[in-house]
Amino acid sequence: MASKLLRQTLTKTYTTAVIRRFSTVAAVASPSEYEDPTGITMKGVKISGRPLYLDMQATTPVDPRVLDSMLPFYLSRYGNPHSRTHLYGWESETAVETARAQVAALIGASPKEIVFTSGATESNNISIKGVMHFYKDKKRHVITTQTEHKCVLDSCRHLQQEGFEVTYLPVGSDGLIDLDRLRKEIRPDTGLISVMAVNNEIGVVQPVEEIGKICKEFNVPFHTDAAQALGKIKVDVEKWNVSLMSLSGHKIYGPKGVGALYMRRRPRIRVEPQMNGGGQERGIRSGTVPTPLVVGIGAACDLAMKEMEYDEKRIKGLQERLLNGIREKIDGVVVNGSMDRRYVGNLNLSFAYVEGESLLMGLKEVAVSSGSACTSASLEPSYVLRALGVDEDMAHTSIRFGIGRFTTEEEIDRAVELTVKQVEKLREMSPLYEMVKDGIDIKQIQWAQH
């Protein structure tokens, strides 16, 4: 009913407007003020239409079924879930608890172990700073990896400024940590080990179950940032032996602005709250719980439980279609990160003898990125790729293709066509590529400085 009302409102408002077809989810939306009959102009760039979307690690479109579940809590059931004296509050509270159970079910946890937050960044901050502050008298050491999301690395740097010690584990060329090295770095005062489950830039899946066993052996709490794993690979908090897990709504076709934190009850993990207020969410995360957003992440988790297996098979086929399509037509294409332990929807490629920024600018009709959306404003090569030992010139040419639930074969074929065309165009202008074709080993050349 709510979605029907919204659809009618939008249709009335924009009856004379030209509605452009979206590249992923067919939806009715207001035409952009930047659009004109000859194309779209934004930030000085003009393209013929909306680009096809292959940046699913940055964010995903909201599944229309998720939106349907959210809309009533914007339009008619708008009560505060903490209001205990009337129907509006009761029905919102019931909806929040239903969503809590849906999130818990997807990761094999109890609903009592789920705390709603604004997203994975906040969950990571609560986990890392909250645990270490709570146990600061006895625990002064944290272990993490060099390829974590920026919010984990920045939280660790914040702790270092407070006098804590942090060990940043290196990774191999495949992006995976060395378990023996992890074991050796554990100290009596190690208070937390934080390792991302699925990397946001290169998609590698860390051996979290083995890491969990090591943490259990040494009785050290284990935190994992599972924002890129939730709903994409099977997550089981018991098998993984995690104490804390950070989750995000907008990576699984849910809304932005909502996430969750799993906190183990037995054995109980304690944190110092990072926000003071009314004591909501057991005092760990004060602030009014946003019912529509929480309903959205719950619905997204429920859909993921039902469709994850189907999505994975379909996305794997699209990933193979993309990689094979590019490799059949051009050489010098390198996959960054392990191909064996990898989430299939993430394909990070480097193209030899191509300047990265030029490649991105040339792919205006394809929405892709050169790395994490949180660090994409930087012109420095990805710190994740540098940690893998990728040469700086190859790190500069990396493109991350993110494939998802609504990606089509036609979009993959078009992405292959445009990528190949742009790489070939840039290589034609590259003197280095000409030298390589002539059989010259450019790594042996001694370049003179002027």
Residue 345 CA to residue 230 CA, distance in Å, equals: 13
- What class does CATH assign to 64-303? alpha beta
Other CB atoms within a 10 A radius of the CB of residue 181 amount to: 14
Is residue 101 classed exposed, middle or buried when 0-12, 13-18 and 19+ CB atoms within 10 A define those classes?
middle
Candidates 60, 87, 8; CA nearest to 346 is 60
DSSP 8-state class, residue 19? P
Please calculate the CA angle 111-112-118 and round it to the nearest 5 degrees: 80
Buried residues in 140-176 as b, exposed as e (16+ CB within 10 A): bbbbbbebbbebbbbbbeebeeeebebbebebeeebb
CA atoms within 13 A on the CB side of 236: 6
> The whole model's pTM is what?
0.89
Candidates 23, 30, 24, 31; CA nearest to 7 is 30
User: If you write DSSP's letter for every residue of 78-142 in order, what string do you get?
Assistant: ---TT--SSHHHHHHHHHHHHHHHHHHHHHT--GGGEEEES-HHHHHHHHHHHHHHHTTTT--EE
Could you give the residue numbers annotated as active site? 374
Q: What pLDDT tens digit does each residue of the chain (450 aa) get? A: 545 554 554 454 444 333 334 444 434 444 555 556 678 888 888 888 899 999 999 999 999 999 999 999 999 999 999 999 999 999 999 999 999 999 999 999 999 999 999 999 999 999 999 999 999 999 999 999 999 999 999 999 999 999 999 999 999 999 999 999 999 999 999 999 999 999 999 999 999 999 999 999 999 999 999 999 999 999 999 999 999 999 999 999 999 999 999 999 999 999 999 999 999 999 999 999 999 999 999 999 999 999 999 999 999 999 999 999 999 999 999 999 999 999 999 999 999 988 778 898 899 999 999 865 555 555 678 999 999 999 988 898 999 999 999 999 999 999 999 999 999 999 998 777 777 776 677 666 665 555
Tell me whether strands 222-225 and 244-248 are parallel, antiparallel or unpaired: parallel
Q: Which fold has domain 308-434?
A: Aspartate Aminotransferase, domain 1 (3.90.1150)
Residue 257 CA to residue 250 CA, distance in Å, equals: 8
Q: Does this chain's domain 64-303 share its CATH topology with 308-434?
A: no
**Contact between residue 265 and residue 284 where contact means Cβ atoms under 8 Å apart:** no
Candidates 112, 398, 402, 133; CA nearest to 282 is 112
CA-CA-CA-CA torsion sign (393, 396, 397, 400): positive
Residue 246 CA to residue 293 CA, distance in Å, equals: 17
Please report, for the chain, the start and end positions of each structural domain, with discontinuous segments joined by +: 64-303, 308-434
- Structure tokens belonging to residue 339: 């191909």
Is the previous residue joined to 381 through a cis bond, with omega within 30 degrees of 0? no
- Structure tokens belonging to residue 381: 């090569």
Residues 6+ apart with CB under 8 A from 8: none
pLDDT at 431: 74
CA-CA-CA-CA torsion sign (156, 157, 162, 166): positive
pLDDT at 35: 53
Q: Three-class SS of residue 214?
A: helix
User: If you write DSSP's letter for every residue of 384-447 in order, what string do you get?
Assistant: HHHHTT--HHHHTTEEEEE--TT--HHHHHHHHHHHHHHHHHHHHT-HHHHHHHTT--GGG--P
